[in-house]
Amino acid sequence: MSAVDQDFLASLPPLREVIAEHGLNAKKSLGQNFLFDMNLLGRIVRTAGPLEGYTVYEVGPGPGGLTRAILAAGTERLVAVEMDQRAWPILEDLNQRSGGRLEVIPGDAMKVDEAALLSGKPVRIIANLPYNVGTALLVRWLTTPAWPPFWSSLTLMFQKEVAERIVAKPGTSDYGRLAVLAQWRARPRIAFDVPRQAFTPPPKVTSAVVHIEPCVPIADVPLKSLEVVTLAAFGQRRKMLRASLKSLGMDPAPILEAAGIPGDLRAEVLDVAAFCRLAAAHAELAASRKTR
């Protein structure tokens, strides 16, 4: 891992002064909360692993606190997507000071073709995700059709309750569709918590940094079937599977029988492998109906 470039950090004006100069108050509508503690920001970057040979992708850099820490860790190319135009001059100045290593993409991260934008070197995604789009972005990265995906790791900050849903185990109240999608073909872990007092302004909840690495899928099943099966099962999680899976638009009995799963169970007790069996059975039944 590269040593932190203290000279680079020392050459930058204090982040609080930059924010004040540009009038960049955090906007609730953009899910913004700023971090100023460079020790904490550096810890997030270290959690991602070595940056040599990687392109780093950041969503919602805002005034660039985490961006500074990523650049100081020695990345050769950092691509950041930011829709708040107030932050663009700050980030452009940071690009100049970094020797052109920062590429700022103005706009909405949900509309970016990341695989095309980041092609070439392997990618580490490091971001303090805006609260209002964090889960949607994660689901998109977890459900990319190509696997292994275009990214080598995700190091992301979420509200702690979201982080706990990502790593939750069967039989717990946090276990749901997000856990199944995250654990089907990736290894997620909570690296550490971040207290609300670390932010300006402080959010109402504690946050947590989650690190995710892709792995060999638990089972080779169609992504679409896994998505629809988990959506149906957890959409009515208090119902038994024989009832909740009726929303699939087909008789759930043959699916449950093929998967070897009793219909009187509820979704929260099934492990990821069981959901893979359900997805495989659903895909087979759906395919047979199309050929009739």
Give yes or no for a contact between 113 and 81, defined as CB atoms under 8 angstroms apart. no
Tens place of pLDDT for every residue, the chain, 292 residues?
A: 457 889 999 999 998 898 888 877 766 655 567 788 899 999 999 999 999 999 999 999 989 999 999 999 999 999 999 998 989 999 999 999 999 999 999 999 999 999 899 988 999 999 998 878 899 999 999 999 999 999 999 999 999 999 999 999 999 999 999 999 999 999 999 999 999 888 877 778 899 999 999 999 999 999 999 999 999 999 998 999 999 999 999 999 999 999 999 999 999 999 999 999 999 999 999 888 776 5
Residue 239 confidence (pLDDT):
95
Q: Which CATH number fits domain 6-214: 1.20.120.1760, 3.40.50.1000, 3.40.50.150, 1.10.357.140?
A: 3.40.50.150
Angle between helices 88-97 and 15-22 (to 10 degrees): 140
Rounded CA separation 176/165 (Å): 7
Global pTM value: 0.93
Rounded CA separation 111/11 (Å): 34
* CA dist 202 → 7, 28, 38 (Å): 30, 11, 17
Phi, psi of 129, rounded to the nearest 5 degrees:
-65, 140
Q: Which CATH number fits domain 223-290: 3.10.180.10, 1.10.8.100, 3.20.20.70, 3.60.10.10?
A: 1.10.8.100
Residue ranges of the domains in the chain?
6-214, 223-290
* CA dist 288 → 162, 225, 249, 261, 292 (Å): 37, 14, 14, 20, 7
Residues 53, 153, 64, CA angle at the centre, nearest 5°? 75
> What amino acid is encoded at 2 in this protein?
S
